[in-house]
Chain A
Amino acid sequence: MTARKTGLLACLFLTLAPLATAKDSCTECHSNMDGTLKAPVTDYVNDIHARHGFSCADCHGGDRNADDPEAAMNPAKGFMGHIARTAVPALCAHCHSDAALMHRFKPQQRVDQLALYLTSVHGKRLATGDTAVANCVDCHSVHNIREVKDPQSPVYPLKLPETCARCHADAAHMAPYKIQTNQFAEYRASVHWEALSKRGDLSAPNCASCHGNHGAAPPQVASVAEVCGACHVLFEEMYNKSPHQPVFAAMGGGGCTVCHGNHGIRKPGIEMLAGGGAVCAPCHDAGSAGGAAAAQMAGLLTKLDTALTQSDAVLNRAHDSGMEVSEPILRQMEGRQAQVKALVAMHEFQVAAVAKPVQEGLAVAAATRRAGEKALQDRDSRRVGLALSLVTILVTMAGLWMAIRSLESKASAVPKPAGR
């Protein structure tokens, strides 16, 4: 610990010390109560506002320095008691929309949350007096508000979907609004949730990533591809150039979601192009140009997948028999990458675009399969070589054995034992 660090710590402590030891009659009295009157005090220990020296009175009003309950909770001193649900956003915004104030604590923090909230369905309905919609504390919690990056916060990326689902998956709650409640269940079955929860990939989208958080609203029909395109850039570009874009726009349908769904997005596969569950089939008859193109693309992709799987099998057989095939196994990665490129290129909805990467991939699969087959051939010739050398060894051993027998039958008298 350098002298400089010690000095800095001392200064920090001195500036905060008055805050830490500042008088707070709210906490003092309410910590001696029980039930709902005590709960906020126990919760508040974990609150980020507490860490910055704020007390109950900073939101609820009143006088934190007065010991007398009447004086402390005096409406003349601004005491509001229980805050009405419709009054919550304005209350939070009192600080959180104040740029100068927020700058003191966290200069990078946005200060437009209220403005965004008022554009959202939640905000608009709350303004009309509907108390069933979400306000700040429904998502961020109250009295134990944690930072978004705190894994225990209800709006931490991994926990956000459950927070939204508290209302949006509750059929009784959503009934008056006639909004479906299957989104959460669908989302939990999706690849995006899998990326978040199983791989811990925090960049994977949750509800807020597509719908926004404070200004939450479903992406409009025109903007679905843009929203997906925030991460899936190439697909957005290809889709916008493709014949589907104007057609879907005219149909009033939602871009990527027409084929992939919105909440329950599964890992896409060749089965989406052809077969029973094909997403092309509802619009394109089998005989039509589009149907034929889909079938061709599916055929090409299947051919590549089969080729790669077969060469994988050969390489695995070679590897399992002890042959060194690490190079072809790595080369196989290029084949799999070509496969990914082909699946991406499919979004141009042109057979030629898919054919090119498929050819590249087939070339790789052919080369790795040849390498695997050569390894298996080498293994077989090793065994032949072994057999040959074993034969020579056995012949020699037979010769030795016979030589011994002949020696010992000739020399019938074993020489006198040497003295020892």
Chain B
Amino acid sequence: MEQERRSVIRWLLGGGFAASVASFLYPAVKFINPPDMPEASVNEVSGGKTQDLKPNTGKIVKFGSQPALLVRVNDTEWRAFSAVCRHLNCTVQYNEARRQIWCACHNGFYDLNGKVVSGPPPGPLEEYAVKVRGEEVVISRRS
């Protein structure tokens, strides 16, 4: 009887202890293993290759959780802005004919400095920094 009791205790304690330690170590080990996408970068985003965008055109790029507008002004000059219109948050686009940024929702226009030219937007578009590294265009937040 005594032996039985002792072995029950030993099993419960030993087994329980081992199992509980395993249930603590398992998440810890999994945690240490880096996930597939090791970077959580929201401060720098690739705008693609330089040859993907012709001069005097623009394209929308995802920057963090918001859209950004990348504009290639000419062969060597690039600009990038938050593409969220300051009026009612529609996504803006580049107007090649006027060389200005246009919001289709209520006809707001911004110049290539992000400043409002005409229409309802109450303020300018936040400008981002653009760097060209070799063939790659990189958009980042201005510090």
Contact = CB atoms under 8 A, between A and B. Distances in A.
Do A and B interact with each other, yes or no? Answer: yes
Contacts of A392: 16, 19-20, 22-23
Contact of A395 (B16, B87, B122): B16
Contact of B5 (A330, A395, A406): A406
A232 interface: yes
Give chain A's interface secondary structure class.
Answer: helix
Contact of A388 (B15, B23, B104, B122): B23
Nearest to A231: B106
Contacts of A402: 5, 8-9, 12-13
Interface string B15-29: 111011011100000
A353 B14 CA distance: 69
B124 interface: no
A232 B9 contact: no
Contacts of A388: 23
A340, A395, A400 pick with most chain B CB within 10 angstroms: A395
B19 to A, nearest CB: 4
A393 B16 CA distance: 7
Contacts of A399: 9, 11-17
B120 A203 contact: yes
A395 B106 contact: no
B13 A403 contact: yes
A201 interface: yes
Contacts of A201: 87, 120, 122
A29 interface: no
B91 interface: yes
Contacts of B9: 399, 402-403, 406
Given A327-B65, A399-B9, A389 B20 contact: yes
B107 interface: yes
A203 B106 contact: yes
A234 interface: yes
Contacts of B66: 330
B2 to A, nearest CB: 9
Contact of B104 (A234, A330, A389, A400): A234
Interface residues of A, number: 28
B16 A330 contact: no
Interface in A213-242: 230-234
Interface string B92-122: 0000000000001111000000000001101
Contacts of B65: 326-327, 330
Interface in A368-390: 388-389
A395 B23 contact: no
Contacts of A344: 104
A182 interface: no
Given A203-B87, A203-B119, A399-B17, A233 B107 contact: yes
A231 B17 contact: no
Interface in A323-346: 326-327, 330, 337, 340, 344
B119 A337 contact: no
A327 B13 CA distance: 44
B129 interface: no
Contact of B13 (A232, A340, A400): A400
Nearest to B66: A330
A201 B85 CA distance: 14
A171 interface: no
A397 B122 CA distance: 64
B133 interface: no
A98 to B, nearest CB: 29
A382 to B, nearest CB: 11
Interface string A171-182: 000000000000
A230 B107 contact: yes
Given A203-B87, A389-B23, A395-B16, A406 B6 contact: yes
Given A201-B120, A232-B107, A406-B9, A396 B17 contact: yes
Given A393-B20, A402-B5, 8 more contacts: A232-B107, A233-B107, A330-B66, A337-B91, A396-B20, A397-B16, A399-B9, A399-B11
6 contacts: A233-B107, A337-B91, A392-B23, A395-B15, A395-B16, A402-B8
The 8 closest A-B pairs by CB, nearest first: A203-B120, A399-B13, A396-B16, A399-B12, A395-B16, A392-B19, A389-B23, A392-B20
